[in-house]
Structure 1
Amino acid sequence: MIQYRKILELYFTDVSQRTISTSVGSSRNTISDIVKRAEKLGLERLTDNMNNHWLEEFLFPEKQAIEKGFFPPDWEKIHKELQKKNVTLKLLHMEYDQQARDGGKIPYAYRTFAENYGKYAKKYKATMPIRRKPGEILEIDWAGSTLSINDRSNGGNLTVYVFVATFPYRQYSYVEGFLDMKSANWLTGHIHAFEYFGGVPDSLVPDNLKTGVSKALRGEPILNEAYRELADYYQTVIVPGRVRSPKDKASVEGTVGFISRQIIAALRHYQCFDLRDLNQQILSKLNELNQEAFQKRPGSRKKAFDEEEKSYLHPLRQTRFKLSEWRSAKVQPNYHIQIERMYYSVPYEYIQSDVDIRLSKDLIEVYFKDTRIASHMRLYGEIGQFSTLTDHMPDNHRLYLEHTPANSREWAKTIGSNMEEFVAILLKNGSEKKALNQLMSLRSLEKRHSKENMDLAAQNLLIASSNPTVSVYKTILARNKKREHAKDDGSLSKMVTNENFGFVRGANYFGGNPK
């Protein structure tokens, strides 16, 4: 007789198959077949009810059929096929019956086929009991059932979604209603749950919903950034349940059904116009359930939690976590990003770059490759508003923005008193818009001329003309610069008057000193 249980017990304690073969008196091929079948069926540990007979039927159900002369069904294949849409056990029996008769074998009748499959499925779906530690895990989910409140604006109903958090150790729970299942309410539910429990667990086990998990990879799911920040702030870890594996968070799944019956169903006819009013009713019902006495053991969920579990929780932070939301955007050619139809500037060097945005209630922060490059107070109200910082602008844009009459006067002071007088005349004589355009052209000359030369040219202009203009100023400035260059290279010639010619009247003539 093959000792299935002893073989697996030794294998699970890392004993080699050669040693197991020697210990139980079975061949190594037999040991290998048993180990491979156990691994294929996901059997990782043994419980008390798994004796040799149970393990033989579970690992090799086809042997039972062969011993009785019937064609053995492939129960694993049948179990997988039955999970497909529109496939029934009756259809699978018809296919099995045809396969058996084509091979000249005896098939099971449908009743026996269904009974044997039931036995297989019961063992195949056997769940391993997991012993939880106090304060170790908090399982979280949205309830499938919803509530509603009356909408004052149109007389209709607003759907209320129910957030549920449960400690599996003693089934102590927290429940709250929200108007949507978006990230902000998901995080708010966690914060309120921590405050209700008076502490934080070692780990959180949510479902693979988008508000918590950005991408549900099989090995390591990618968490929503705001959710990860919350876990970091409260010093806990997030371990999402596997995709399509509700048994990973069986406690909250069971609590959701319990809450649906005891709270949601009880409040289905409750009429209210305010979510706070509804949540007060939910909290009242929740406290009743948590304080209700157990049927099969002394105490209640509340008492068991306070006595056995609460001391294992991590203490709450003194300040509540500030909600945030992460988004991504591309910097537009006008060096702004658009968030909820509001526009915020970033340094112009990042035009056409992809950036990450962290949104909180009052602040927007922009990150490029994990480095913060800009922050703004969040805009509310009329759409289309701009928040622009001058430090984010190119130099020519910044100069244009700062180009005002007052700013032009300040600039003139840095050049000299003559330029200050010239600018004042321009602003006084013409329209402001025309004067500012002239001054923009005037200020651009500073890139090619020194302040001393510019002020000297302004002095020459004010002496020569009572109605100075920018065009004449530019002519004087260019002439002065040309003369200065000629003086530097020695090409400037000094004119001398020759008084020997009669038609040339010299200084002596005009001075009144005839010879």
Structure 2
Amino acid sequence: MDKFREIMRLHELGHSQCSIAQSCAVARSTVQDYIRRATAKGLSYEQIQQLSDSEAKAQLGKGKRAVKEKLETIDFTTLEIELQRKGVTLALLWQEGIDKQQWDCSYGTFCRRYNKWKVRHQLTMRQVYKAGEKLFVDYCGPTVEVMHPETQTVTQAQIFVACFGASNYTYAEATPSQELPHWIGAHQRALPFFGGVPECIVPDNLKSGVTDPCRYEPGINRSYEEFARHFNVVILPARPNKPKDKAKVEKAVQEVERQILAPLRHERFTNFTDLNAAILVPLQHLNDRVMSGYGVSRQVLFEQVDKPALKALPSHPFTFARWRTAKVNLDYHLEVEKHYYSVPYWYVQREVQVKIAEHLIEVFHDHQRIAVHERSRVQYRHSTVAEHMPPEHWEYKRQSKERFLAWADQIGSHTRAQVEAIFNTKAHEEQAFRSIRGIQRLATTHGTQRLEAACRRANAFGMVGLRRLRSILATRLDTATVEAEPVATSAIEHPNLRGAQYYH
């Protein structure tokens, strides 16, 4: 319009249309058109100066013509709820409305009206949450004191909150801490409360759940990963220092703090059972209250939108276990809570992953389980599996008097007699073990027949021990004939024999 006013000023000063077009940097046809329109309306430069831009455009016929649009009543609140279901689009809703003769507008008009409604309506949000897609979890800032009635020790109860993105349906409970067992335990109780499993769980960067709060590739605690694998759910941690990534649960935390924790501030609790029972009643009221922006309650919206889209709960419960990395000691054992568990001896000095469950200890290497033990609470003791021991250790562990005697029986009666004699000469059985193992080596070196013959000669002359047997075999005395022992006869009594008493 500034150029239009300049065109009229120069025209009244007597300049040609060509010079005016050159001065105002417009086409000559444009100058001719504006002059013709102003002349037809009888507008002078002074009159145009008194008009606003919109009035001048209206006088010259240059403004957009107002087209009266037939506005049909469309319930966009209901359509917004339907739009959160999987596979539902604006085009589908528009076509369904056309088929039911609820409106007669074009698809473009329908989309424009929807966007205008969304811009000015309270349901505006940057992210659109699909039904049953995301469950947001977090802890409240305020805590609740729980005092033990006997010890008078005070525990600051942490308030866990979970909230669905599409329906805002909320769950809350008190736990003794934010540590890993309580963190996963709260998840395990929240999912049955909802009656199903979402596609994703969006936590904050709590250390119990996220080991590496990276913006792009966050590290998930291995126990938390096992929980997600058991329930077939994806863990999507919020970005560090980005509360808008979990705005739904931030609002849910605020509601829990105002509607549940604040009214309980004057009450005193002695156990978590009573505290969670006190939380449950106002929590139900919170979910049953009608939300002003939606016109329905969280409970109703959850039943309509989220619940039908949830996956079924697993048939068997999740068993919580902690993971840790350990290095196998030289005695092929590793320590868990001051008890020692064996692994195959060839993993000595290697790093392994230990899964610590309530009743089992499992050891993994290279993602393969290499050992499993029943968990023991006895400290400074060993749980050893025979197959984990080296062969020489296993043989040493199996040593016993009965095994050595059974071996001697297989060689012969003289060998058994020699082995029994060795056990009789030692104060402790283990003192005889080395000697007998030496005798077993003689059987390997010289053969069982020669060993049996050597034991026969040693027994005949009352010789006991490894050195005697080794000497007999070295000098080949085992091949010599052993003289028969003289038969002992009793003394003859006769009156002509004086006997030993005579010489006293």
Which band: TM-score by shorter chain? 0.5 to 0.7
Judged with a 3 Å threshold, the aligned counterparts in structure 2 of structure 1 residues 444 and 266 are, in CA distance, closer, same or farther, namely: farther
Question: Secondary structure at the residue paired with 1:265?
Answer: helix
Judged with a 3 Å threshold, the aligned counterparts in structure 2 of structure 1 residues 170 and 469 are, in CA distance, closer, same or farther, namely: same
Report the CA distance between 1:273 and its aligned residue.
2.4
Alignment of 1:199-348 (within 5 A): 199-348=196-345
Say if 2:344 and 2:370, in contact at 8 Å, map to a contact too: yes
Judged with a 3 Å threshold, the aligned counterparts in structure 2 of structure 1 residues 270 and 452 are, in CA distance, closer, same or farther, namely: farther
Aligned to 1:400: 396
Judged with a 3 Å threshold, the aligned counterparts in structure 2 of structure 1 residues 476 and 164 are, in CA distance, closer, same or farther, namely: farther
Q: CA RMSD in A?
A: 2.7
Judged with a 3 Å threshold, the aligned counterparts in structure 2 of structure 1 residues 286 and 329 are, in CA distance, closer, same or farther, namely: same
Aligned to 1:427: 423
Moved over 6 A (4+): none
| Farther-moved stretch of structure 1 (134-143 vs 388-397) | 388-397
Question: Secondary structure at the residue paired with 1:144?
Answer: coil
Separation in structure 1 between the aligned mates of residue 338 and residue 178 of structure 2, nearest angstrom: 23
Question: Secondary structure at the residue paired with 2:277?
Answer: helix
Match of 2:467 among 467, 471, 476: 471
Report the CA distance between 1:376 and its aligned residue.
1.0
CA offsets, 1:446-474, max 9 Å, x none?
66454444444333333332x52232123
Separation in structure 2 between the aligned mates of residue 445 and residue 279 of structure 1, nearest angstrom: 76
Judged with a 3 Å threshold, the aligned counterparts in structure 2 of structure 1 residues 393 and 299 are, in CA distance, closer, same or farther, namely: same
Report the CA distance between 1:213 and its aligned residue.
1.6
Separation in structure 2 between the aligned mates of residue 451 and residue 152 of structure 1, nearest angstrom: 76
Separation in structure 2 between the aligned mates of residue 390 and residue 271 of structure 1, nearest angstrom: 55
Aligned to 1:10: none
Aligned to 1:503: none
Report the CA distance between 1:406 and its aligned residue.
2.8
Judged with a 3 Å threshold, the aligned counterparts in structure 2 of structure 1 residues 181 and 417 are, in CA distance, closer, same or farther, namely: farther
Separation in structure 1 between the aligned mates of residue 433 and residue 417 of structure 2, nearest angstrom: 15
Match of 1:192 among 164, 189, 193: 189
Report the CA distance between 1:203 and its aligned residue.
0.8
Separation in structure 1 between the aligned mates of residue 449 and residue 404 of structure 2, nearest angstrom: 18
Match of 2:165 among 164, 168, 171: 168
Report the CA distance between 1:308 and its aligned residue.
2.0
**Paired AA for residue 150 in structure 1:** M
Report the CA distance between 1:443 and its aligned residue.
4.2
Report the CA distance between 1:378 and its aligned residue.
1.0
Judged with a 3 Å threshold, the aligned counterparts in structure 2 of structure 1 residues 297 and 219 are, in CA distance, closer, same or farther, namely: closer
**Paired AA for residue 422 in structure 2:** L
Say if 1:365 and 1:376, in contact at 8 Å, map to a contact too: yes
Separation in structure 2 between the aligned mates of residue 440 and residue 233 of structure 1, nearest angstrom: 54
CA offsets, 1:366-404, max 9 Å, x none?
111112211111111x42222122222223322232222
Aligned to 1:387: 383
**Paired AA for residue 218 in structure 1:** R
Question: Secondary structure at the residue paired with 1:145?
Answer: coil
TM-score, normalised to structure 2's length? 0.65
**Paired AA for residue 408 in structure 2:** A
**Paired AA for residue 333 in structure 2:** H
Q: Aligned residues, how many?
A: 358
Unaligned residue ranges in structure 1 (runs of 5+): 2-126, 485-491, 493-515
| Farther-moved stretch of structure 1 (214-223 vs 361-370) | 214-223
Say if 1:403 and 1:440, in contact at 8 Å, map to a contact too: no
Question: Secondary structure at the residue paired with 1:185?
Answer: helix
Judged with a 3 Å threshold, the aligned counterparts in structure 2 of structure 1 residues 185 and 468 are, in CA distance, closer, same or farther, namely: same
Alignment of 1:450-469 (within 5 A): 450-465=447-462, 468-469=464-465
Identity of aligned residues (%): 34
Unaligned residue ranges in structure 2 (runs of 5+): 2-123, 481-504
TM-score, normalised to structure 1's length? 0.64
Judged with a 3 Å threshold, the aligned counterparts in structure 2 of structure 1 residues 399 and 253 are, in CA distance, closer, same or farther, namely: same
Judged with a 3 Å threshold, the aligned counterparts in structure 2 of structure 1 residues 455 and 370 are, in CA distance, closer, same or farther, namely: farther
User: Is residue 147 of structure 2 the alignment partner of residue 150 of structure 1?
Assistant: yes
**Paired AA for residue 269 in structure 1:** H
Report the CA distance between 1:135 and its aligned residue.
0.3
Aligned to 1:356: 353
